[in-house]
Structure 1
Amino acid sequence: MEYAGLSEYEAKVYLSLIGLGSSRARKLSINCKVPRTKVYGTLKKLIEYGLVIEIPGVPKCFTPISPLNAFGSTVKRNLNKALDFSQILESLTDTHETSMKEASPQQKTLWYIDSDDDIIGKFHEIVSQAKETLEVVASADGLTLFFNSAPNLLDQMQNIGVDVRIFSPLDPKANPLARELSYLFDVRKVDISSPLLFVDSDHKSFILAKVTDINGDDPLEAAVFSDDENLLSILHLITSSLMNGQDSGAAPKIEMRT
């Protein structure tokens, strides 16, 4: 009854009268556990609110007004207010979404995981989601770690039609792992001085990790991943520059501070 603006005593007396139908003050006091000294004052207020009617007689008797008649208009008024507020909220939400699309700078979602999480498992997950292209950019240790963690994963992806490209400092002419991979995939030697492992899956999601000791318990220190299109378009510049550098005969290079 707090929504109707009634006090605790007023609510107890009114609800008790609803249950009794009509009652004298003494019986009402016992039934609703409101002190008899407070009942008359409470009933007087309920009569003023239009919730209770006093039946003439000795002793006095009291009967409640139907809840529908008593609160129907209040409920209707509040429902109308709620509907109006809902429409206002919807309009504000649309305006906010429109303005945020045009605002700058914009907030983007980038997820971070550390060595306590299964980072290499997240790499396998994102690789497995690819339908068209996979681009792997890795340091020597990063590529070795990735290949050893799932030797057949890239084969499986190629078998379903995924175009796999690998960029690393390992030379297919001199390194056994790079040579083996080059028999199946597009493997390109580039200059990568930072210990990293990066995978771009269909240009729809990516994961980037920092490689530490591949022989240790936690070979990947931390990683970030996202499926935000704007972030992906920027990071795609990495592999684009590598490919362009190869095509022009330049020496593609990736160097990041770690």
Structure 2
Amino acid sequence: MKQATINALKTMGLTEYESKAYLSLASFISATALEISETSGVPQSKIYEVLRSLAKKGFIEITRGKPLKYSVVPPQDIFEKSRIKIKEELDEAESEVKTIYENQIPKSQAPIWLIYGADKIVKKEIEIIGRAKNSLHIASGFMFQNEIEQLNNALNKSLRKGIQARIIAAPYNITDGEKIDISKGLNGLDCEIKTFQIPFIKAIIRDKKEMMLIFSKFNDGVVISQTAIGVWNQYSEFVETIADLYNLVWTMNLFKHYY
């Protein structure tokens, strides 16, 4: 018996003895308690209790007679039900933990954090976008390599939920020697995008409650991604002010429009 398989069965709610007894019975399809005990290593003093528990959990069936016979329920049925149950439990747990996490962030004594590294910054951007309930304001003077596809996926999910998004994007930038067409890359989104050659800075504002500013050093117009820093901010008064400034800039006749 592979320990990894036993560990997986434990994840499905079985004990060590139950996992061993179930695996043993799977090799018999149908067997007596004595046969299962001998092949599984579960002591005879424990085997009946273990088998009753497996039957209660729906992993095996018991046939009356002398001696009692135990039959394994088809594994595909058991595993499918367990996958559904585990996913439901994980989804419920994730929802509860996210609610606790998001409610506590603004209450932090200093709700400003620095995030280093392009991968971690993009991950945080997507997290912020995923928390949006009403609005997103985005300004992008540069992008990292492979970032546009990830943002498109996250933004499309938010837009399908009815989130109102406004995006100001530079036409393109060069990151680590690679040209990135920002406006063109975002052009498929179902929201209004305005194009302007803004400086090498990014901003994502969520619901006027949370924002992140991203900066990076650049050399001769080329962004150096390894120097990138994200400033994640949840001071609601400050974020609301920046969002209002964004909306003011949005009304200025400075941009090309893409729909």
Q: Same fold (TM over 0.5)?
A: no
TM-score by length of 2: 0.45
Bigger radius of gyration: 1
TM-score by length of 1: 0.45
